[in-house]
Each structure stands twice: as structure tokens, then as C-alpha cells.
Structure 1
Amino acid sequence: MVSEESWSIGELARRAGVSVKTVRYYSERGLLPEAGRSSGGHRRYGAGALDRLLLIRSLRGLDLPLPEVERVLARDEALEEVVARRLRELGSQLAALRWREASLRLLRDGPPGERAERLRLIGAVSVPPDTAALARFWRRILPVRLPARVVSSVVDAVVPGIPAEPCPGQVLDFARLHALVSDPRVHLPGARPAPPLPAGEYRPAVLYEGLAEAYALASTELAAGRALREGTALDCFVGAYAHARGTVDSPGFRRGLLPLLARSEGPVITRYWKLATGLFAPGEPVLGALHHHLSVALRAQVEAGAR
């Protein structure tokens, strides 16, 4: 028996603000409960069907695929889980759109003679981009005896994130950085940076943990407008190298450290930091810059003591 509160398919469609075709499609998929059938065998729908149809329309209006809507309706998956997943997907799509927009502006506004090269560079980067190649680069060049936890800490600190709102210049810097770390010639033994300490016994974990502390101190001192030449950060910086070698900090050790620091950076690492610096968030410590500041401060201190 059909309830007096039931509606025909056309009446339901009008109440929900959708087409009859849409109602029929959802009915055939079993998403709308029927209140019964008319004497002529036509479907009749009640308030439950209207509530369900309005819910489906809302979820579809948020661009949720119908299979996910069906899982929500069947309570196979919570609405919160579906929404969270959809937000992640949209975030990735928006990141890709922003990257493409900045890439197009880079090509549009760049010198005509550089467009082909720029197009080649950005074409080699996935959209949205990721930093996996950068992480692999550092994992290759870090000492093999470095504990995994230290490696992860170093990689997290030296690999910049992808800017949420990239400008054309950042797209170009990242594309060039990606090309640098992906170049097979960079990974040849002769192209790698020199070890951070001379050949022989030294404790890499002690060195890198000590450097992390020195960089944190240097960042604080520079933010406060203090010079590094006589600061705690410089002593910590030199001490990291001395402790890793099992020796003590001294004027002689500091003099001998200068050429070692110059060799350890090398053209590839220098190029890396030149390109990567602008990709870090404002206010985020850039280890390459901090290392350079500390090296310059040490040279100035040693040269002043030699006069």
C-alpha cells in the first residue's frame, strides 16, 4: 500500500531540485528507498528518499565520486575519512595547478632565447614536484658510517620543501636544482665533495650532531644581530670537528681547518645551496648559508690572530 506522503519520481525530482533522469539513475543503483508502487506499478518515494537524495546531491556537489558517496551511504566508510582523503587529493591538485601557473609565467616572461632550455628543465620535473631526487643525492654523499637517525635528520634539514605558492624564479631554481642532483656526472667519485675531515679515523655521527648544534646556535646569534667571530656558535662549530677527530680545539687546529672547509664544499655543493636557498620558507634556517657564515667567521678570526 502506498503512503499518502509518497511522491512520484517527477514530484521527488522537483522537491530535490534535480532531474528525473538523476532520480531514476540513483534509484537503479539502489541508493533511494522506495515507499512503494502506484496502482500502475510506478515507483513512489517518501521523505526518506528526499533526505537521501539531498544528501547525495550535497556530496556530489563537493565533487565526491559516486562510489565514495555509496560507501558513505552504506556506512562502509565514515564521512570524515572520505572528506579527509578528498582534501588531500584537492591539495595535490591545487599544488599542481600553482606549479603549472608559475611555470607558464616563467616561460612567458623569460628571455626568448632561454625558453627552450627552461622548457627542458621544467619538463624533467614531475607535477606537482617532489624532493625525492634531492634526498637521494644527500644520502649518496653522506658518510656510509653515519647512523640512519642522523642521516634522516641531516636530509630533513638540507632538503627544502616545495613552496606552496611558487613564483617563477622558484620554479626555475628547483628545476635547475633537480637537474643538478640528477646529473649522473655529479655522482662520479671525482665530482663528489671532499670528506668533511681528512682520511683517517673520525666519528661521523659526532661531527654531524655537533654541526647541527652549531648551526642552531648560529641561527639564533645571527637573528639577534650578533657577529659569529667570537660567539658560542663558532666555538661549537670548531669543536664539532675537533671532537670528531678525538682532538682538542686550538689555534693550530683552527688554522688547519680552514683549507679543509674550503675543499669540503666544492662546486657542486656550492651550486646546490645557491639554488636551494630561495626555496626554504622565510625564517627557516638554511644550513648551507649558516655553514658559510661560520666558515667566514673562522677565517676572519684566524687571520686576525695571525697579524
Structure 2
Amino acid sequence: MSTSHEDRWSIGELAERAGATVKTVRFYSDQGLLPEAHRSGGGHRRYGPEALERLRLIRSLRALDLPLPEVRRVLEDEGAAGRVLEDAVAVRLRELGGELRALRWREAALRLVRECPPAQRSDRLRLIGAVSSPPSTAPLARFWRGWLPARMPARATAAFLEVAVPQPPDEPDPAQVLAFMRLHALTTAPCPGGTQPQPEVHRAAGARGAATLYAGLAEAYELAGPQVRRARQPFPGEALDAYVAVYASAYGGRDTRAFRRWLAERLAAEPRLDRYWELAAVVLTQPGGRPEPTPGSADDWLRAALEGDNATAA
């Protein structure tokens, strides 16, 4: 290969040495990313070995799918090139993670449509169209914020939302996608009567009292969790005692037989919340695995244990 000057190459010669196209070399040169050694008498660009190394580095960075601004930062910040490159790669990895999650959700949604009976496809498509990929949990959090008592301490609200809002799995199966989409529909639908009903215990305990109540209930649910996971029949014991005690504290009473009977009458099932927890359990369950306990399933187990305990004592 001939050159116009020793170690000086034309744009075509540089492209050939790098295995690139002339158009690519011209683009990066126009962007100021390739250093020119000098210009010929006719104004043609001439490049040296440093341009070849720079071009190879640019193409490697672009092969990693780094955007051009990040490539420029890596090239220009030579003193901290390693750190800049690490930061750029970390950002791109996070972006790719989000893109992959979106693709997995779209794949599962497509399977959901393909595998459902034709009569159900219209409903499935409506649910799919209302949810982004990957889906946002913001509507679920708004639902609970409307259900929780006003002026409840922020820390207590955050702790409750962490437990109550199921995070979409990164690799869902169609059943999990359908459950999450139904959760979205449930939490964004207008409330019966036009307003979100507040549980009676909120009115009795107040905002700060409700925060203490939920913290105590979380402990009772944790105690009941192993029994729910093993699908054991509800029975009185430590979990039920903790469950009744926290309600007794919220109502300013004591754990007595009379209070247990009174509490069982007050803890009526709420169909909308029951449905929420049923769907949340599907979202949280690994394909082929046993459903994980949720606050809803633990509460159901404890209410059944309370009713059974009252019946035995009657």
C-alpha cells in the first residue's frame, strides 16, 4: 500500500487499515474525534498512526453501544480515562438492564395473548395497552397512599409500601404479567362510592396510632408467614397473640376473651383488598414455586385462627 508521505495516510488508506468505511472515518473526523496529522497541498486530510489507534478505540467503544457523547468523554478526559470509561459502561449496563426487562415483559405479554382463548384476547389486549413495559408500580403506591390514613409519618408509610407493593419480576411468565396488569386495573379503577374507604381502625387509632398498628401487624405477619408458606391450618399461638395484642393496643384495650370476640366481628373481609393480595401473591410467586406469604394471606390466616379460637372457647 502506498502513502503520500511516510506514516501519513489519506482518509481511504486509514479506512482500509482500520477495516472501516471511508464514510465512517469521515464522520468521526468531522466530529473532531480523529486527529489529523496535517493537510495536503490540495487540502486533503492526512492521518498518522495515532489516528489509527484512536479509530480502533472509537469503534470498540461503539461496539459496546456507548453513545457518541460518552465516547467523546472517554477520549477527551485522558487523565481519568479509566474512571470515565467505568462510569460510561455502568450507565449503559443499567440502561441495557431496563431494555432487557422491557423485552422480557413484552415477550411474556405476547405469549399471554397467543396462549389465551380467542374470546379472552380483547380483554387481554385492553389490559396490556394500559400498562408500560416494564410496568410501573406508581399506581399501586398511589392506591395505598389513598387507603392509608392522612398525615401518617413518612417513614411508616414507606415501610408499609415496601411490603404492600409487589415489584414486577425481571423474567415474568404470562401468569405474572396478567396478575400485575389486573393489579394495575384494580388500583386505577374508581373506588366504589367515589372515595377510597378508610378502615375503621384508622379512625380509632389516628394517623400515628395507625403507624404503630402497622408495625405491630408486620411482626404478627412475619410470625404467621412460615405457617402460611407450609399451608398449615390456622391455629392459636404466638402469631395470633401478637396479632390480637397490637389491635388491643390500638383500641386502648386488653387481650381478653371478650375483646377477641369483638375484634373478630370488626375484622370483616374487604373484597377489593382480598383480590389485591390474591393477585400480588401471583406476581411474587416464582414459576413452579409455592405462593409466597403476603400481608393479605397472613391476615386471612390470622383472622381464621381468631375465629377458630373463638369457636373453641365458646
Same fold (TM over 0.5): yes
Alpha-carbon separation, structure 2, partners of 1:59 and 1:186? 55
* Contact kept? 2:143, 2:187, Cα under 8 Å: yes
Alpha-carbon separation, structure 1, partners of 2:62 and 2:228? 52
Alpha-carbon separation, structure 2, partners of 1:7 and 1:86? 34
* Contact kept? 2:281, 2:292, Cα under 8 Å: no
- Structure 1, unmatched stretches of 5+, are none
Alpha-carbon separation, structure 2, partners of 1:102 and 1:193? 36
Verify: 1:196 aligned to 2:201, yes or no.
Answer: yes
Deviation, 1:135, is 0.3
Deviates more, 1:220-229 or 1:142-151: 220-229
Deviation, 1:141, is 0.6
Verify: 1:79 aligned to 2:120, yes or no.
Answer: no
Query: Aligned pair count?
Result: 301
* Contact kept? 2:148, 2:198, Cα under 8 Å: no
Alpha-carbon separation, structure 2, partners of 1:192 and 1:166? 32
Alpha-carbon separation, structure 1, partners of 2:14 and 2:192? 67
* Contact kept? 1:217, 1:232, Cα under 8 Å: yes
Alpha-carbon separation, structure 2, partners of 1:187 and 1:97? 39
Identify the residue that residue 279 of structure 1 maps to in structure 2.
283
Verify: 1:161 aligned to 2:167, yes or no.
Answer: yes
Identify the residue that residue 16 of structure 1 maps to in structure 2.
18
Return closer, same or farther for 1:207/1:43 CA change in 2, 3 Å cut-off.
Answer: same
Deviation, 1:71, is 2.5
Verify: 1:290 aligned to 2:298, yes or no.
Answer: yes
Alpha-carbon separation, structure 2, partners of 1:218 and 1:56? 58
Return closer, same or farther for 1:280/1:225 CA change in 2, 3 Å cut-off.
Answer: closer
Deviation, 1:222, is 5.0
Return closer, same or farther for 1:186/1:131 CA change in 2, 3 Å cut-off.
Answer: farther
Deviates more, 1:62-71 or 1:128-137: 62-71
Verify: 1:64 aligned to 2:66, yes or no.
Answer: yes
* Contact kept? 2:104, 2:172, Cα under 8 Å: yes
Deviating above 6 A after TM superposition, structure 1's stretches of 4 or more consecutive aligned residues are: 224-227
Deviates more, 1:8-17 or 1:239-248: 8-17
Q: Secondary structure at the match of 2:201?
A: coil
Alpha-carbon separation, structure 2, partners of 1:122 and 1:40? 61
Match of 2:252 among 241, 246, 251: 246
Verify: 1:235 aligned to 2:241, yes or no.
Answer: yes
Return closer, same or farther for 1:222/1:109 CA change in 2, 3 Å cut-off.
Answer: closer
Verify: 1:136 aligned to 2:142, yes or no.
Answer: yes
- Structure 2, unmatched stretches of 5+, are none
Deviation, 1:9, is 2.3
Identify the residue that residue 53 of structure 1 maps to in structure 2.
55
Matched-pair identity in %: 53
* Contact kept? 1:125, 1:178, Cα under 8 Å: yes
Report the residue type matching 2:273 in the other structure: I
Verify: 1:215 aligned to 2:221, yes or no.
Answer: yes
Identify the residue that residue 179 of structure 1 maps to in structure 2.
185
Return closer, same or farther for 1:169/1:245 CA change in 2, 3 Å cut-off.
Answer: same
Identify the residue that residue 308 of structure 2 maps to in structure 1.
300
* Contact kept? 1:196, 1:261, Cα under 8 Å: no
Identify the residue that residue 28 of structure 2 maps to in structure 1.
26
Deviation, 1:136, is 0.3
Alpha-carbon separation, structure 1, partners of 2:259 and 2:13? 89
Report the residue type matching 1:30 in the other structure: G
Deviation, 1:269, is 0.4
Alpha-carbon separation, structure 1, partners of 2:229 and 2:191? 38
* Contact kept? 1:180, 1:186, Cα under 8 Å: no
Deviation, 1:149, is 0.9
Deviation, 1:87, is 1.6
Alpha-carbon separation, structure 1, partners of 2:113 and 2:228? 37
Report the residue type matching 2:199 in the other structure: A
Q: Secondary structure at the match of 2:213?
A: helix
Return closer, same or farther for 1:245/1:15 CA change in 2, 3 Å cut-off.
Answer: same
Alpha-carbon separation, structure 2, partners of 1:84 and 1:7? 36
Return closer, same or farther for 1:3/1:281 CA change in 2, 3 Å cut-off.
Answer: farther
Return closer, same or farther for 1:285/1:51 CA change in 2, 3 Å cut-off.
Answer: farther
Deviation, 1:187, is 7.2
- Cα deviations by residue, 1:177-216 (Å, 9 ceiling, x for unpaired): 1111101134734x6363236x545521221111111112
Q: Secondary structure at the match of 2:191?
A: helix
Alpha-carbon separation, structure 1, partners of 2:280 and 2:161? 13
